Structures are given as structure tokens and as C-alpha cells.
């Protein structure tokens, strides 16, 4: 009887460890091209809710680290000129920052005199969306900035299927507007 109980407890422990390892692995393995992107509802810097499944058009998702990252600020500043006037494409930037920090970052970028940030900065404060997209950067576990993503850009078709992705392990490297634009042109 003791052996059966021991085997049952050991089996449950192994199952729990395996499930935990799979969960940890999934939040650090970026989604692949061809995958349907997970849905989310996140609030922008002005408190407006955005639900991905309701967008219904080509979408560019830019995951950035946080308001304090100068490489992120530079990328977001450049993204103001990504889309053409009246283009049927949505652009969203996502970070673990709360709305106030995102609003502050947008104001800081606008001070360069080249215009306001013309796309929503979405708040993923609990990093559930970052995790769902497999972008969780484990280098910061246990630190104040735990939950920041690897910088990434996803292009989704109107049905949320990932048609292009660029995920960087080096936070200093980002795809250019020209890189993203080339992929958007291929879709037209």
C-alpha cells in the first residue's frame, strides 16, 4: 500500500514539474509564422480597450520593453511614419508599462517636433499577452522589470494569422520601417 501511495505521489510530482516546464517553455518560445495569434483585450495609454479579434484588418504588433528603454523610444518614434495615409492597417505597440507610463513615453517622443505618436500604446501590465506570444525574457526573472518582452514585430492578416515575425534576442536590434513596409507591400 505504501508503495502505491509513493508511486502516486511521485507521478503527481513528475506531472506537475512537466506541466510547469512546458508552461515556462511556451512563454519563452515565440509564436511561429502561420500560427493564429492569441486574442487579447488591452487598454491603451488613454484607457480605451483594444480587442485584437475585433480589429478585422492587417495588424502590426510591436512588442517593446518599456518606457525607460531608449532603443524602444527610438523605434516607436520611427513607427510614426510606417503607415501610409488611409492605409487599411492597424498598428499597436505593447509593453508591460501601465497607461500613465505609456502616456509619458508618448509625450516624450512627441517633444522631438516630428508629431504625436499616432498609434495606441497598449498596457500589458501582467505580461499575459507577452507570455502568450512567447516573448517573455527570462533574463529579468526576480527583478523589478520581470515580464518585459524580447523586442518583436508581428504582422497579422485580417484573420489574425501571423504572416511575418521578427523577434530579437538583442534588445538593441529592431527591424526598420523599411523591413516592415516590405512585408506589408507583399500582402497587397
Cα atoms in the Cβ-side hemisphere of radius 13 Å centred on 13: 6
Q: 88 by DSSP, 3-state: which?
A: coil
Backbone angles phi and psi of 184, in degrees to 5: -65, -40
Can 72 be counted among the known catalytic residues? yes
Exposed/middle/buried for residue 60 (C-beta within 10 Å: 0-12, 13-18, 19+): buried
Cα–Cα distances in Å, from 142 out to 28, 132, 161, 188?
16, 20, 33, 44
CB-CB contact of 149 with 174 (8 Å): no
Helices and strands, number each (H, E), in the chain: 5, 7
Select which of 72, 76, 79, 99 is catalytic. 72
SS (H, E, C) 47-80: CCEEEHHHCCCEEEEEECCCCCCHHHHHHHHHHC
Q: Which residues are catalytic?
A: 72
Amino acid at each position: 500500500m505504501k508503495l502505491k501511495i509513493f508511486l502516486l505521489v511521485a507521478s503527481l510530482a513528475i506531472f506537475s514539474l512537466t506541466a510547469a516546464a512546458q508552461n515556462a517553455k511556451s512563454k519563452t518560445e515565440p509564436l511561429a509564422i502561420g500560427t493564429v495569434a492569441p486574442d487579447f483585450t488591452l487598454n491603451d495609454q488613454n484607457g480605451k480597450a483594444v480587442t485584437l479579434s475585433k480589429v478585422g484588418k492587417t495588424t502590426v504588433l510591436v512588442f517593446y520593453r518599456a518606457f525607460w528603454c531608449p532603443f524602444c523610444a527610438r523605434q516607436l518614434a520611427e513607427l510614426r511614419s510606417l503607415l501610409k495615409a488611409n492605409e487599411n492597417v492597424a498598428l499597436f505597440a505593447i509593453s508591460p508599462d501601465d497607461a500613465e507610463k505609456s502616456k509619458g513615453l508618448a509625450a516624450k517622443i512627441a517633444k522631438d517636433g516630428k508629431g504625436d505618436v499616432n498609434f495606441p500604446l497598449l498596457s500589458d501590465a501582467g505580461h499575459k499577452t507577452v507570455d502568450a506570444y512567447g516573448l517573455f525574457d527570462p533574463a529579468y526573472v526576480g527583478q523589478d522589470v520581470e515580464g518585459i518582452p524580447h523586442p518583436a514585430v508581428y504582422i497579422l492578416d485580417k484573420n489574425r494569422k501571423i504572416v511575418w515575425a521578427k523577434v530579437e534576442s538583442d534588445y538593441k536590434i529592431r527591424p526598420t520601417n523599411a523591413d516592415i513596409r516590405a512585408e506589408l507591400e507583399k500582402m497587397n
